[in-house]
């Protein structure tokens, strides 16, 4: 009785770090947790020589994300320049 040791007396076992060894509900023991390997398909997309930069290879969503980022960057730069201009004006008393 009294105080318990903070250090465990037995090893945690092989599955303590990675969670549980039981499959997710609805999966059989032979099913994999990761699903299919999508790397070969993505390699085909990204290694295609079509003249596009890699950050625009996946089509419309990439273009929209790129354009939104550029718009926010240009808008933020314009806002900062206007704020600096206003802050640099002499105060009228």
Tell me, what CATH number does 80's domain have?
4.10.91.10
In a domain, 76, yes or no: yes
**CB-based burial of residue 28 (10 Å sphere; 0-12 exposed, 13-18 middle, 19+ buried)?**
exposed
In a domain, 16, yes or no: no
- CA torsion 66→72→78→83, rounded to 10°? -160
Range of the domain at 66: 51-92
- Report whether 63 contacts 56 (CB < 8 A): yes
Which pTM was predicted?
0.52
**46 CB-near residues (< 8 Å, 6+ apart):** 54, 57
In a domain, 83, yes or no: yes
pLDDT digits (tens, 9 = 90+) for 12-55: 555 555 555 565 666 665 555 567 888 899 899 889 898 989 88
3-class secondary structure, 52: coil
- Report whether 23 contacts 29 (CB < 8 A): yes
Q: Given a cut of 80, is residue 63 above it in pLDDT?
A: yes
């Amino acid at each position: 009785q009294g105080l318990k040791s903070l250090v465990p007396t037995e090893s945690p076992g092989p599955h303590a770090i990675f969670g549980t060894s039981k499959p997710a509900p609805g999966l059989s023991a032979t099913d994999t947790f990761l699903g299919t390997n999508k790397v070969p398909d993505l390699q085909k997309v990204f290694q295609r020589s079509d003249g596009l930069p890699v950050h625009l290879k996946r089509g419309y969503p990439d273009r929209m994300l790129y354009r939104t980022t550029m718009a926010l960057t240009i808008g933020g730069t314009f806002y900062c320049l206007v704020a600096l201009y206003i802050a640099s004006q002499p105060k009228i008393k």
